[in-house]
Amino acid sequence: MGTWDSGPFDNDTAADWCGDLDDADVAKRLVLVREALSRAAGEDGYLDADVACEAIAAAAIVAAQQPGGRPITSPYAPDFLRDGGRLDLPDDLAVLAVRALDRIMAADSEWRDLWQDVTGGVNPAFDAVGDLRKILAA
């Protein structure tokens, strides 16, 4: 996993997934977001980091459209969502996104394991996921 920062779109997997979302037919975009969240939320075994990265990006997209959500400005996010673009999201997607983030932060998550050893007592990746969860759970 190539990672250059701790934000939800700042790794190769998330950036590639965002590119696929950009390229998808408008009618399929919601399906892709739901699938990314469902894969992470429904994983019973050890959660793969790539699945987690896609779900975090999807959760950030859902969170951006919630009250109090931050606009998407990352150059690695889907082009159509930057600068205030939106998807028509059903209400249950925020709940699914919270479940996915909780699963990503569980002990049997490769993403969590990879970020666990961040030095300096501050973990910006964990903080980013926590911030998304707060917005989604509100």
- List pLDDT tens digits, range 60-85: 999 999 988 888 999 999 999 986 77
Q: What is the structure's pLDDT at 48?
A: 97
Q: What is the structure's pLDDT at 52?
A: 98
Q: What is the structure's pLDDT at 122?
A: 79
The pTM is what? 0.95
Please identify every stretch of the chain with a pLDDT value under 70, giving residue numbers as ranges: 1, 83, 118-121
Question: How far is 81 from 16, CA to CA, in rounded Å?
Answer: 15
Q: What is the structure's pLDDT at 89?
A: 93
Q: What is the structure's pLDDT at 86?
A: 86
Q: What is the structure's pLDDT at 95?
A: 98
Cβ-count burial 100-114 (b if 16+ within 10 Å, e if not): bbebbbeeebbbbee
